[in-house]
Structure 1
Amino acid sequence: MSSYLAKPGQTYREHIEEAYRFWKEAIAAKRRIIEKLSLRYDFPVERFLKSSLLTVVLHDLGKMTEPFQTMMAAKRQGKRFDYKKNYRHELVSFSFVAFAALSLNRQEGNITNIPLEALAVAGHHRPLNTDLTFFERERKALSSPSFVAGGLEEALALAGDIFRREGWYLPDVDVGLAKYNPYSSLAGLVGYEHNRIGQLLDRDGYDKARDLYILLKGILHYADWYASGRTRFTYSVNKSPDMLEEDLIKRCQAKKIPYRGLRSFQVRMGGCTGHLLAVAPTGSGKTEGSLLWALRNAGDMDGAKILYLLPTMNTANQIWQRLCEIFGTDNVGLTHSMANLFLLGEREEDDGDTWEDRLGLLFHQAFLKLVTVATVDQWLTCGFNAGRWVLKEINATNSVIILDEIHAYDGWTLGLIIAGIRHFAARGSRFLLMSATMPKALIELFTGVLDGLSVIREENLLHAIRSDYQTVDKQIEEAADDIGKAVSSGRRVLVVVNTVEKCQNLAREFAELKPACYHSRFILKDRKDIEKNLDESHFVIATQVVEVSLDIDFDWLFTECAPPDALAQRAGRVNRYRDPERDSRVYIYQASEKAGKIYNPLNDRDLLKRSYEVFQNRQGRLCERDLIEIVEEVYEGYRIEDTEPYREAIDVYRQTQGKRMAIFDNRLGEDKQEVTRRSNYDTISVIPYCFYEKALQLPPRERKWYEVKVPLWYYQEHGKPREGINFCDLKYNEKLGGILKPADNKTELW
């Protein structure tokens, strides 16, 4: 038995054998995608499988070098290793895979002109771009690393044995490649100087090169990481719609709500196969209906992953908790900017964290879980080739994707979403788009993008009256007496304002009534506690973060004016279950000038004024149909696809593939246009200076618990960068959050 190591606790042979085992399972799970692409690009499935297996059996061949084996021996003995003496093993593997791939092409014809197998191996640990940023040490190396005695021969013998088990022969590999510089070979292929990749792309086409690269590298990732973590492979949800209904019964019992069976709206959602657009008011059971649809379609697709995408971290956190109750915590992933703790390219492999820790984080981050809840941004970055885009894309392909609160995006982000929908729908993904309010123009836009899109509305609740709506022609600060009386009388009261500053001021003013203050400028540690207890709070003062996907219920709402769809969302937190005997009210106050700057998705300064006037003309006990009509009236004549931000986003999404030559990774901050959200007010994540000592003692990933976002202008004036960390001079209170120092003529973000 050889003693060559792939990991401190795993021999090379063990790792490759495990990788081969998981490769077979990954191939079975991805069979539908492979067959779809084989038809689209006209290649035999078996020919692709040979290329794929080639990447798996040779991807770690470079670990048979002396530097790597010395590093492993040091780790096993608990000794320190000088990483300056290491040499990236995947770079060594690259040369051998490239030669073998060319041999395979000569023997059986190629599936692409670009040696995608070799590039997938070269980039399976570090980001790969045309200037090879992450291989600087290897560029400066005076010579190539030597192989340990017998190591190369054993690696090739094992690879040949595995190929024979499949009834194939391992393509020819030249052992003389060990003498050559692999960095020069890779640089000669991907560098701009000779533009070889560009020339080969002209033959293959960008779509073909990208699709096959994602498939090859994605399956390699599956095999490699599962083999490293030695975990059980489960690809898709094993749950029936009937089992889901049992979970719903238990949830209603826990919340002391009578269960009266599935609504007809939910049944219709669960009976739909293919793309679906669902419009239903808050509290109508859209989430449960979406899961019925997802399970039906995942089963129809022979097992598919479920992606649930939302506009904000807060809503993602809430839905993640709900889905964990249904599918089990181990089966549900969560990923957004604050959950993204996996360290990308910052350290050598095997340094620090265990593979078990890393694998767990990766599963969340790369849509590897059976069900993943994420902000929509995590999905959109696939189009920019950013982060773990290959794994995210291979898992989003041929999956069922739920886009909740689809109305909540401006023209730029919606343009990216439309581009993403087109891309993934063409690759077998099925979409469910959901909203409580959906203007006709938006429905027409989606209908034109998704072929065969079904539209289901919750008709039974259209005439249901939830609350009495009244407009009040003054600022919400003048409502202090009315708010205080409502709380003191025992009512559950929700106050929603449009800026963090106003939210904090009102929380101070009502301190004696002990309100829960809820907005975006809390450190993650405190924000998580607030969200956990929000449903039990009787008095909440919040910003827009309370609008979507929160299962909370209040008696009265006092709110600043906002766009009509946002007001409908806020009102959905009142009398959530539509008790006709309940005295539920919605008071709408004039918006401040600052709110007009924040709420300007249409570049229309009169939007909030028009929204207030329409509600003023429709006061009284409004039903859901009334709210839909109000939304249509305010947005009449507006077509988001005609706006400049929307058109720009569509163009940027397309142009990105040219810049990345279809397959290369995004350099951090390379293009300022490649962002998933645009704002007139740039923000930056900082740590309040009061946490200075604590933050310095924490590892980088745990510092995120103490980060808040502040306007960029504020950081420029009050930032205190220390030790490479963005500290900032702002007060912090666990009840009020981060408190900015006053500044003239500045608008705060919510």
Structure 2
Amino acid sequence: MTFYAKSEGKETIREHTDRLLHNLNLLKNAYGYKFMLMDEQMWKLLEIAVQYHDVGKANTVFQNKIRQAIRESMLETDIETNVPHNYLSVGCIPLKQLDLTKEEERLLIHAVGYHHEREQLPEKEMIRNVLENDIKKQLPQLSEHMRLPMTEKFSYRFIDRLLNRYTYHDGEEFWKYVMIKGLLHRLDHAASAHIDVERDVEKSIYINVNEYMKKQGFHKNDLQQFAERHSDKHVIAIAQTGMGKTEAALLWIQDDKAFFTLPLRVSINAIYDRIKEKMGYDAVGLLHSTSVHYLVDKEENWEELKQQSEHFAKKLLLTTIDQILKFPFYYKGFEKELAAMANAKVVIDEIQAYEPRIAAMLIKSLEMIHHVGGKFMIMTATLPTLYLEELKQRNVINDDEIAIGEFIDTSVHRHRICLRSECIEETMGEVLDLGETSQVLVIVNTVRKAMSLYDKFLDCDTQAPVYLLHSQFTQEDRQLLEKRIKQFNENNERGIWITTQLVEASIDIDFDYLFTEMSTLDSLFQRFGRCYRKRALDHDSCNIHIFTENISGIPRIYNEHLVNESIRLLEQYNYQIVDERTKVEMVKQLYDRERLKGTSFLKEFEDALYMFDNLDPYGMDKREAQQKLRDIQNIQVITRKIYDQIEHLFEQYKKEKEWKKRLKLRMEIEKKTVSVQRYVAEKYVSERLPKPFDHIYIAEVEYDFNREQLKGKGILLDKPSSNFS
């Protein structure tokens, strides 16, 4: 008799299992020696789990579902109960014949029993009914189909054992379970997608980055040599902007599988292009919430790339932390992501860019990666002391296993600061004068303040062109503005750009003067990096002006205590050069635990760590974990006027059958949306769009932008459209 596993391609259980075995051999041959927790007995257990994981699909209810889908005749049965096949599979394993210890049996039972995480918990009577009255009759044929021995007599103790789930209180056995179950997930998901679990195993980014540097005439600097020398350890590298941190990380990765994370999608896309096009390394994948939009425009084989990236099959994956490092939430199925780290290296770029709760999750995830045998590298311009201390306390880093280095060039002075106890609006005349002969960047903390300032500048009589850039333009208009600011900078045009913290890390620009509202030091020093970024200061004037009165964005964006402490630390450098060493030292002082006592920053960080240390495993699903990481305070809106202009695209989408064309239409629609804060936009929202666009809301407000002149303010959340009452 034929037992089907999937309707697609009429794939049998044996054929599907063989795909997993192929992937198991591929994984073991490629990286087996890298898995610290996988000895020969563990590989044997994993192989048994693979062999038996889907045998429960032989139940007649499941077979009839597939037969109906592939239009084959139905099988006769009295059974109507639908019991998840993963529980039935466990019942068929001939445990007595396998000569396993009690703990090995438990590992096997749980890996197979939970290789699908179900809402429906194992229920003894339902499982007994299906095994005794259905599967029992099929056992001889099933055994023949699978070429495997099946149990001779059903025992139901496994159900009670399944209900006693593993937790971190099980000590070392918990981590073994993470490996067996996580690798089974990886093998199963890759087999179902009909792809290899690992690709391009023989390709080495190390070779490509060396050739690229040689071709460019680059010599490895101290940071890059340090990373290369310590490729067998965890690494923490504190290095200023422009030190070649990306190359350093790639040299540290050597020939290993790796995950490279950055906070901003636009930065990830830029590194993807650089690695693929300039370094000629094609074993690289891309994974973030809009990566498919990017790949569709760039790659002919984007579908294949998307799939390989989603299943972590690529040798090097560029990604965001919400895609791969959320396992401290212990959501159902977290083991897949964590097991993928066990033979790999993980790069965390700019850890200081994350808010305290996310930083706590990263600290916990590094602890867990260390436990399963993975390696990590933290690359950052400034490292809060608090984070380093926490890693030490958790025994994640000790002298034998970690290399910590600071790479700071104090020979080139770029920034002389002027602290001004006035609000930024009071210096418009000064900015306008400078804008007629120089490139002036103005950074404020909120979009509202940026718009208000832009209006005031437009009212002035000046020859200097004034532009505005913030996050509340439509996606397509924001791309135009980001392209324009780079072009403006490269062409050495004269004028003024008013922006928000959007430009802190994602846009590579080098202006003559920076006028900025005060923020916390780590954020402020990122802003410094947009002024005299690639050159030494060649005059005695202050090129950085910092305004400390009437600061916007407190306390909603920046912690008031940290901003005030930042001002105190900066005061001693007024009218002086602030070099790279000084910046690093000041951030260390700012984020010292003593200085943070009593602050909401420290409370958020410690509360989040306490939560991760005491979470009940399997209490949430993957989507919930992802939501906790993303900024769920923001919603996507489309203004009524823009919606009316593109309503035909929604109609086309409904009618379109070919999914590639549907994807392109979806991307076209998404480009017209703006991400705004829920509490600001809610009062102007008139309706929510139907599925699959139910994440988009129609806002009855105006939108201001001239695409020819690249001028305008974006979405006007304080200006309702005329038909809104």
TM-score over 0.5 (shorter chain): yes
Q: Distance in 2 between matches of 1:739 and 1:545?
A: 18
Query: Could you list the per-position Cα deviations for residues 625-675 of structure 1 after superposition, in whole angstroms to 9, with x for gaps in the alignment?
Result: 33334445655664569832222112211222xx22xxx362478799x93
Offset at residue 100 of structure 1 (A):
0.5
- The answer (yes or no) to whether the contact 1:310–1:403 under 8 Å persists in 2 is yes
Q: 2:95 aligns with which of 93, 102, 121?
A: 102
Matched, 1:222 2:186: yes
Distance, in Å, in 2 between the alignment partners of 1:492 and 1:59 is: 69
- Inter-partner Cα distance in structure 1 for 2:536 and 2:320: 32
> Do the aligned partners of 1:269 and 1:289 also contact (CA within 8 Å) in 2?
yes
Q: Could you tell me the TM-score, scaled by structure 2's length?
A: 0.76
Q: Which residue of 1 aligns with 2:678?
A: 712
Q: Alpha-carbon deviations, 1:226-257, whole Å to 9, x = none? A: 3344445426572253530332466x6xxxxx
2:64 is matched with which residue? 67
The structural deviation recorded for 1:319 is 3.5
2:441 maps to which of 494, 498, 501: 494
Task: Report the CA distance shift for 1:220/1:494 in structure 2 as closer, same or farther (over 3 A).
Answer: same
Task: Specify the alignment match of 1:652 in structure 2.
Answer: 611
Q: Deviations over 1:724-744 (max 9, x none)?
A: 62514244456644332269x
Q: Distance in 1 between matches of 2:596 and 2:28?
A: 41
Distance in 2 separating the partners of 1:370 and 1:405: 22
Q: Where do residues 204-283 of structure 1 align in structure 2 (5 Å cutoff)?
A: 205-208=169-172, 210-232=174-196, 233-234=198-199, 236=201, 238-239=203-204, 241-248=206-213, 259-273=217-231, 274-283=233-242
CA apart distance, 1:368: 3.7
- 1:556 partnered with 2:517: no
> In percent, how many aligned pairs have the same letter?
22
How far apart in 2 are the matches of 1:546 and 1:407?
16
Aligned CA distance change for structure 1 residues 455 and 7 (closer, same or farther; 3 Å): same
CA contact (8 A) 1:476 1:589 kept: yes
Q: Helix, strand or coil: the match of 1:598?
A: coil
Question: For residue 8 of structure 1, what is the aligned residue in structure 2?
Answer: 8
CA distance in 1, matches of 2:234, 2:48: 33
RMSD: 4.6
State the TM-score, normalized to the length of structure 1: 0.74
Cα distance, 1:442–1:96 mapped onto 2, change above 3 Å: closer
Please list the CA deviations of residues 520-576 of structure 1 after superposition, one character each: whole Å capped at 9, or x if unmatched: 334445545555565334364332232226443333322211222222111112232
In the TM superposition, 1:68-467 aligns within 5 A as: 68-73=65-70, 91-100=84-93, 102-103=95-96, 107-112=99-104, 114=106, 117=108, 120-121=111-112, 124=115, 127-129=117-119, 156-160=143-147, 170-173=148-151, 189=159, 197=162, 199=164, 201=166, 205-208=169-172, 210-232=174-196, 233-234=198-199, 236=201, 238-239=203-204, 241-248=206-213, 259-273=217-231, 274-295=233-254, 299=255, 304-325=256-277, 331-339=283-291, 360-365=305-310, 367-386=312-331, 389-440=334-385, 442-448=387-393, 449-452=396-399, 453-459=402-408, 461-467=409-415
Q: Is the 8 A contact 1:23 1:222 kept in 2?
A: no
Residue of structure 1 aligned with 2:471, choices 516, 520, 523: 520
* Residue identity opposite 1:571 in structure 2: F
Instruction: After TM superposition, give the deviation of residue 390 of structure 1 in Å.
Output: 3.0
**Matching residue's letter, 1:128:** R
Q: For 1:241, what is the secondary structure of its paired residue?
A: helix
Distance 2:3 2:85 in 1: 20
Output the CA distance in 2 between the equivalents of 1:619 and 1:379: 44
- For the 8 Å contact 1:563–1:599, the answer to whether it is kept is no
Conserved 8 A contact 1:556-1:586: yes
2:540 is aligned with 1:571: no
In 1, distance between residues paired with 2:133 and 2:199?
Answer: 39
Residue identity in the other structure for 1:685? I
1:20 aligns with 2:21: yes
Number of aligned residues: 659
Query: What is the CA-CA distance between 1:485 and the residue it aligns to?
Result: 4.0
Contact 1:685 1:707 in 2 (8 A): no
> What's 1:475 paired with?
423
Say whether 1:723 aligns with 2:690.
Answer: yes
Counterpart CA distance in 1 for 2:571 and 2:650 is 49
**What residue in structure 1 maps to residue 492 of structure 2?**
none
Give CA-to-partner distance per residue, 1:85-136, whole Å, 9 cap, x none: x99999235313333163455x33344454x5465456556x434659xx9x
Greater shift, 433-442 or 54-63, is seen at 54-63
Partner of 2:75: none
Distance in 2 between the 1:384 and 1:220 partners? 20
SS in 1 for 2:365: helix
Partner of 1:51: 48
Q: Provide the C-alpha distance between the structure 1 equivalents of 2:222 and 2:609, rounded to a whole number of angstroms.
A: 37
Q: Distance in 1 between matches of 2:87 and 2:302?
A: 27
TM superposition shift of 1:306: 1.4
| Mapped partners of 2:10, 2:282: distance in 1 | 25
Distance 1:87 1:556 in 2: 74
Pair 1:5–1:390, CA change in 2 (3 A): closer
Change (3 A) 1:711 1:320: same
Aligned-residue offset at 1:331: 3.2
Q: Does the C-alpha gap of structure 1 residues 147 and 484 become closer, same or farther in structure 2, counting only changes over 3 Å?
A: farther
SS of alignment partner, residue 414 of structure 2? strand
C-alpha change, 1:324 and 1:34, in structure 2 (3 Å) is same
Other structure's SS at 1:466 match: coil
1:108 counterpart SS class: coil
Residue 710 of structure 1 aligns to a residue in which SS? Answer: strand
Q: CA deviation at 1:21?
A: 1.4
Report the counterpart of residue 553 of structure 2 in structure 1. 595
Query: CA–CA distance in 1 between the matches of 2:275 and 2:114?
Result: 34
Distance in 2 between the 1:599 and 1:613 partners?
A: 22
Report 1:615-626 matches (<5 A). Answer: 617-626=573-582
CA, structure 1 residues 427+227, in 2 after alignment: closer, same or farther (shift >3 Å)?
closer
Return the letter of the residue paired with 1:309.
T
Structure 2, gaps ≥5 residues long: 73-78, 294-300, 490-495, 655-661, 721-725
Q: 1:622/1:176 Cα in 2 relative to 1: closer, same or farther (>3 Å)?
A: closer
Contact preservation (8 Å) 1:278, 1:456: yes
Instruction: Tell me, yes or no, if structure 1 residue 675 matches structure 2 residue 676.
Output: no
Give the direction of change, closer, same or farther, for the CA distance of 1:292–1:35 in structure 2 (3 Å limit).
closer
Cα deviation for residue 428 of structure 1 reads 1.2
Gaps of 5+ in 1: 77-85, 161-169, 178-184, 253-258, 342-355, 744-750
1:501 Cα deviation from its structure 2 partner: 1.8
1:287 deviates by: 1.9
Q: Per-residue displacement from partner, 1:679-732 (whole Å, max 9, x unpaired)? A: 9xx713233243543557476975655554332323442333343625142444
- 1:606 CA drift (Å): 2.5
Change (3 A) 1:157 1:573: farther
